């Protein structure tokens, strides 16, 4: 598969509510297989972005080394958090995006999202006077990883900021490339691809969220969505055919 893989698997922190069951044992058991099969289907040089929390970092970093992917960096992005008051720890206000590549990483596209500092913009040594820099830091304090809303107002309890995903899609793919998302959730990645002219392949096993993604795509494109999966069984069969 050409392009990019956006990977937002369950965190494995045993969080459970009416929407979501994030079982640690399940993630620990399946994570190696997920990475191995993703590595197999991606084209050489492709990028992979894996979203995870602080307490899951060790699991993923260990498995990445064994999967064949090259670990490149970690992008740290602030996250909206509600109700955290910890007396014996620092509260968790960032999410980590592990940046991986299959083989030698292709170069980033030039994307205008990090303004050049005023000092360098006015420096006499800066002949080009570019408004934006194309040397990208790994701490993004200008955007949040998730949508700001209560869980009841969100389409999904871990709904990602589509504007953030648009930046990643633009950096790592060209118009017409394919972006793969096997944990589609509310369809934020699908929206980012539509807005940037990329093709996308989304998988989601929860029928409720399949319908949510369908409607979200339809609202953006004014056309019927192509995600026509109607059952968990059909979703699982498509995943088997993919890998």
The full set of domain ranges for the chain reads 4-107+137-242
Cβ atoms of 155 and 212 closer than 8 Å: yes
| Interval 37-44 mean pLDDT | 91
The per-residue pLDDT for range 157-168, each reduced to its tens digit, is: 778 999 999 999
Calpha distance 41→201 (Å, rounded): 13
Range with the poorest average pLDDT among 99-108, 148-157, 206-215, 226-235: 226-235
Calpha distance 242→40 (Å, rounded): 10
Residue 65's pLDDT is 86
Residue 205's pLDDT is 82
Give the fold, CATH level 3, of 4-107+137-242.
Rossmann fold (3.40.50)
Spell out a b/e string for 101-115, using b for 16 or more CB atoms within 10 Å of the CB, else e. bbeeeeeeeebebee
Query: What is the torsion angle, in degrees rounded to the nearest 10, for the CA atoms of residue 52, residue 221, residue 43 and residue 140?
Result: -40
Geometric angle at alpha carbon 42, from 144 and 156, rounded to 5°: 35
Question: What DSSP state is assigned to residue 160?
Answer: B
| Interval 42-63 mean pLDDT | 92
Residue 242's pLDDT is 44
């Amino acid at each position: 598969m050409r392009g990019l893989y956006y990977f937002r698997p369950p965190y494995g922190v045993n969080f459970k509510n009416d929407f979501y069951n994030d079982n640690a044992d399940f993630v620990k058991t399946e994570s190696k297989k997920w990475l191995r099969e993703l590595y197999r289907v991606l084209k050489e040089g492709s990028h992979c972005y894996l979203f995870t929390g602080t307490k899951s970092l060790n699991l993923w970093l260990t498995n990445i080394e064994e999967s064949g992917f090259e670990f490149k960096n970690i992008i740290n992005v602030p996250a909206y958090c509600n109700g955290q008051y910890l007396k014996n720890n620092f509260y968790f206000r960032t999410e980590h995006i592990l940046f991986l590549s299959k083989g030698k990483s292709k170069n980033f596209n030039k994307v205008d999202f990090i303004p050049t500092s005023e000092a360098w913009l006015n420096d006499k040594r800066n002949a080009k006077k570019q408004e934006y820099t194309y040397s990208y830091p790994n701490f993004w304090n200008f955007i949040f990883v998730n949508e700001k809303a209560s869980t009841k107002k969100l389409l999904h309890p871990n709904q990602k900021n589509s504007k953030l995903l648009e930046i990643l899609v633009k950096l790592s793919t060209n118009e017409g490339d394919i972006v793969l998302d096997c944990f589609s959730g509310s369809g934020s990645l699908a929206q980012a691809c539509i807005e940037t002219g990329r093709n996308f392949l989304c998988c989601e096993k929860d029928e409720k969220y399949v319908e949510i993604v369908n409607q979200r795509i339809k609202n953006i494109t004014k056309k019927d969505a192509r995600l026509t999966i109607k059952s968990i069984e059909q979703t699982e069969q498509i995943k088997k055919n993919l890998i």
